[in-house]
């Protein structure tokens, strides 16, 4: 009977050790679950941030493209205006010469009639 009790005690100890191992594993599993959940949340946050940054990059590229197009249009308009100014200045010079010539002719004609 003592032998039976010893065997029963040894079996109980063995079962208890197995339960302790299972309990420790369960603790590890719980800790791993918590860690996985934490990592999942961090990954979701980082994914959202990356998505937001990508959207901002797309917005800025679009803005840059519009600005470059506006710059090109403004440069063309500037060239047109410079050409108009040059043409206007040329006409002014021609008119000044014409006025000077006519003034000179008028002076000569006035001198002839005196």
Looking at residue 114, its pLDDT comes to 58
For the chain, the distance separating the N- and C-terminal CA atoms, rounded to the nearest angstrom, is: 165
**Mean pLDDT score, 43-55:** 95
DSSP string, 43-102: HHHHHHHHHHHHHHHHHHHHHHHHHHHHHHHHHHHHHHHHHHHHHHHHHHHHHHHHHHHH
d(C-alpha 114, C-alpha 104), whole Å: 15
Is the pLDDT score of 2 beyond 80? no
Is the pLDDT score of 53 beyond 70? yes
Looking at residue 85, its pLDDT comes to 98
Looking at residue 44, its pLDDT comes to 94
65-83 confidence digits (pLDDT tens) = 999 999 999 999 999 999 9
**Tokens representing residue 73 in the block:** 């249009």
């Amino acid at each position: 009977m003592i032998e039976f009790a010893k065997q029963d005690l040894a079996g109980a100890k063995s079962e208890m050790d197995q339960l302790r191992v299972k309990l420790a594993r369960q603790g590890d599993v719980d800790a791993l679950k918590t860690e996985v959940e934490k990592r999942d949340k961090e990954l979701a946050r980082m994914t959202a941030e990356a998505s937001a940054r990508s959207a901002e990059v797309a917005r800025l590229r679009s803005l840059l493209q519009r600005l470059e197009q506006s710059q090109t249009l403004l440069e063309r308009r500037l060239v047109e205006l410079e050409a108009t100014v040059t043409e206007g200045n040329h006409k002014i010079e021609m008119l000044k010469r014409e006025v000077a010539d006519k003034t000179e002719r008028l002076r000569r004609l006035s001198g002839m009639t005196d």
